[in-house]
Homo-oligomer: A and B are copies of this chain.
Amino acid sequence: MLAATVKDGALMVEERPDPEPGSGEVLVRVRGAGINGADILQRAGGYPAPPGSPPDIPGLELAGEVVARGPGAERFQEGDRVMAVVGGGSQAELATVHERTAMPVPEGLDWPQAGGLPEVFTTAHDAIFSQAGLRPGERLLVHGAAGGVGTAAVQLGRAAGADVVATVRNDGLRGDVERLGARAIAPEGFEDEGPFDVVLELVGAPNMPGNLKALATGGRIAVIGVGGGMKAELNLLALMGKRARIHGSTLRARPLEEKAIAARLVEREVLPLFRSGALTVPMAATFPLAEAEQAYKRFTDGGKLGKIVLLP
């Protein structure tokens, strides 16, 4: 099979042996594989794939057809359209997925959208509901809302009956974010827009003092991105006074059982909203696998709204 590969910072598309599905796994012919920030970090050498994932083939999400099943794999049939978050290796013509982490692709969702859905919607759903416990009627602040996880979070918050405010640095993208259901504002001065019950932090340390200031009593901050800096100042007395909590997390390193639980929750609470049309996967661009280098460049150039998806 052809696969995107990374070695010493170089991204190439090369021939690799076809993977074989292990116990409980399905082999998927990949039709869409989104690019995420973690791929950029991995290419730069800073975020190695977890054990059990191909160390040199990037890609954390995929959609495609089941073409073979390993021993004991029973959830899907050959030909089924599936999508999943994976530990790595999705940016290739073939990839293996444990059937418990795979989800059916909702009817009507095309391959590019399905290939760009799992990582960002699972990450956003896990952070704002499973961790931060967002409730109907609460106020949600999403930082860095024009990105993949941000656009997912804005839509999920809106669909759950929350009042969503979103910071977007690029003023040319604020209108797009507003159309997803948030009030979009510049990052400067966001701390005066509170109180917020839940803050989804996709930017990092510079926002943290303002997040705490803008937090409601009993508020929750979920930190899942630190591109803007990782060393934050935390006023513990303010945290106590707000009776607040701060979560940090990543999906990638979790054990199979936790990834499977996250996938079940997305199946139950998120996928029906794609079928009804309440949610969409905003698409910035698609590229054939052979143009992975250009796709990565488009991703890091910024100034886009939505996903960049490779189509092997």
A155 smallest CB distance to B (angstroms): 23
Is there an interface contact between B248 and A245, defined as CB atoms closer than 8 Å? yes
Is there an interface contact between A223 and B240, defined as CB atoms closer than 8 Å? yes
Within 8 A of B (CB), among A205-260: 205, 208, 223-224, 226, 230-250, 253-254
List chain B residues, Cβ under 8 A from A245: 131, 245-248
Given contact pairs A234-B234, A239-B246, a sample of 6 additional A-B residue pairs in the complex whose CB atoms are under 8 Å apart: A208-B234, A208-B236, A226-B236, A236-B248, A239-B248, A240-B250
List chain B residues, Cβ under 8 A from A58: none
24 contacts between A and B (CB under 8 A): A208-B234, A223-B236, A223-B240, A224-B240, A226-B237, A230-B235, A230-B237, A230-B238, A231-B233, A232-B235, A232-B236, A233-B234, A239-B247, A240-B248, A241-B248, A241-B250, A241-B253, A243-B254, A244-B247, A244-B248, A245-B245, A245-B246, A245-B247, A246-B246
List chain B residues, Cβ under 8 A from A157: none
Is there an interface contact between B230 and A232, defined as CB atoms closer than 8 Å? no
A259 smallest CB distance to B (angstroms): 12
Among A237, A238, A244, A253, the most chain B Cβ lie within 10 Å of the Cβ of A237
Q: Which residues of A contact B (CB under 8 A)?
A: 131, 201, 204-205, 208, 223-224, 226, 230-250, 253-254
Is there an interface contact between B230 and A236, defined as CB atoms closer than 8 Å? yes
List chain B residues, Cβ under 8 A from A248: 236, 238-245
Closest 6 A/B residue pairs (Cβ): A239-B248, A240-B248, A230-B237, A234-B234, A245-B247, A243-B249
A244 to B204, CA, bound (A): 16
A295 smallest CB distance to B (angstroms): 26
* A240 nearest in chain B by CB position: B248
A238 to B246, CA, bound (A): 13
A253 to B24, CA, bound (A): 51
A243 smallest CB distance to B (angstroms): 5
Is there an interface contact between B243 and A250, defined as CB atoms closer than 8 Å? yes
* A207 nearest in chain B by CB position: B236
A239 to B127, CA, bound (A): 14
List chain B residues, Cβ under 8 A from A240: 223-224, 226, 248-250
A108 smallest CB distance to B (angstroms): 34
List chain B residues, Cβ under 8 A from A249: 240, 243
A292 smallest CB distance to B (angstroms): 26
A283 smallest CB distance to B (angstroms): 27
List chain B residues, Cβ under 8 A from A131: 245
List chain B residues, Cβ under 8 A from A238: 230, 248
List chain B residues, Cβ under 8 A from A235: 230-232
